Amino acid sequence: MNLAAKDIRHNLGRFALTTFGIGMLLMVVMGMGGIFRGIEEDATLLVTRVDSDLWIVQRDTKGPFAEVSRVPPNLVYRVSAVPGVQSAREFVYHTIQRERNGNLIRIAVMGLSWPTDKGEWVPLISGRILKQNHFEMIVDESLGIALGETIKLGKETYTAVGVTKGMLSLNGDGLALFTIADAQAIQFDQPGEGVRLERASREARGERSELGLRQPSLIEQAVKPSIELPAIARPQLSAVMVTLAPGSHQDRVSEIISGWGDVSVYTQEGQKELLIKGLVEKVRRQIGLFRILLTVIAAIIMALILYTLTLDKIHSIALLKLIGAPNTVILGMILQQALLLGSLGYGIAYLVGQKVFPLFPRRVILNDADLLQLAGVVLAISVLSSLLGIWKAMKVSPNEALA
């Protein structure tokens, strides 16, 4: 006869409710770990998927994902001339927020160096890659934009020709991939009145300058569109991505480019490390503290329940001692209850989590290492929680059975 099972049947309602509560707490602990893994995955997703050997960014900045980076478009040609470089691609990245169908939508905009990069590396679930330089986009399904649907951004309308899944930014915003030209048009779009005022301002400055008075034709040039004025630079890029030629030395190429005064160079692993340490580290520590707090709370609840169950059977424990039952029988009963409470709670946490976590707005990634680690923690707190009940049981005198 198993005394632990018999005692649980006697207090089935209390034990079941406690098990469910422990399971919910452990589910939150499990979910917090999964949320961190999801944030970590999102933070490094683009760096991993794009598969660039080197990232060239603005001097003394940490790259296009950690902060604003601005480099000139002609940097692509400078980098391409470096020995050991197989190809250099333009990269534009920024986030926009628009209203669509009465709801706010946040889009992480990424520019592809078309036609060198048409999005062949993007894992599509439907549609195709970009086939023209303008007015096409590949969108993540989390944005709610269906294949073939159009959306107006700035002054132009773009059509979703491809749909991907799991392509999210660090903030959990769905990614939309455009060509570089379209991504820059969206980023630097100005309303018509703003353009008119800028031209009028250029004209007024020209009329006030001595050069404008001497050469009135310059004033006529000033009111033309900015794209037609050679003195006004093209929109800048966020970064330049470099693919090294087979057999070339990464350190040597990095050393050459790092010697330029206007840029900084990061390897793919260096860029990941910057993102994890700079953007994810605080989140990791905060989530870690909450996980520790909830684990301690779960241990306390388990200890109190096991102590209460022990108090309810003081007379039975005393009777067992009176008839000569060894202490190991009593200890085994309490320890088995604790292990069963922890095991069932862990099982409930995992099963309910599988149904609930996909509904979260951020990705929840449960990997085997984290699940095994949590199982070990649950085993430890189950044993520790039983100590309070065991301590009380050991203090029970056989004479209490005669009281």
| Summary mean pLDDT of the chain | 81
pTM beyond 0.75: the answer is no
Q: How confident is the model at residue 4 (pLDDT cuts 50, 70, 90)?
A: low
- Cis amide linkage into residue 115, ω under 30° from 0: yes
Q: How confident is the model at residue 46 (pLDDT cuts 50, 70, 90)?
A: confident
> pLDDT tens digit string along 199-240?
677 667 666 666 555 666 666 566 666 555 555 557 788 889
The mean pLDDT value for 21-41 works out to: 86
Residue 153 contacts residue 186 (beta carbons within 8 Å): yes
- 66 to each of 41, 47, 198, how far by Cα in Å? 15, 12, 31
Please tell me whether residue 88 adopts helix, strand or coil conformation. strand
Q: Is the pLDDT score of 124 beyond 80?
A: yes
Q: Which helix (H) or strand (E) holds 370?
A: helix 368-394
Residue 257 contacts residue 82 (beta carbons within 8 Å): yes
Phi, psi of 111, deg, nearest 5: -100, 130
The mean pLDDT value for 116-141 works out to: 90
**Distance from C-alpha of 193 to C-alpha of 198, rounded to nearest angstrom:** 9
Q: Is the pLDDT score of 1 beyond 50?
A: no
Q: Which of 16, 33, 109, 68 shows the shortest CA–CA distance to 292?
A: 33
Q: Is the pLDDT score of 139 beyond 90?
A: yes
Q: How confident is the model at residue 361 (pLDDT cuts 50, 70, 90)?
A: confident
Give DSSP secondary structure letters for 98-141. Answer: EEETTEEEEEEEEEE-TTT--STTS-EEEE----SSSSEEEEEG
> pLDDT tens digit string along 320-338?
666 666 767 777 777 887 8
Residue 96's CB is within 10 A of a number of other CB atoms, namely 16
Residue 57 contacts residue 382 (beta carbons within 8 Å): no
Q: What is the pLDDT of residue 176?
A: 92
Q: Is the pLDDT score of 48 beyond 70?
A: yes
**Distance from C-alpha of 338 to C-alpha of 385, rounded to nearest angstrom:** 7
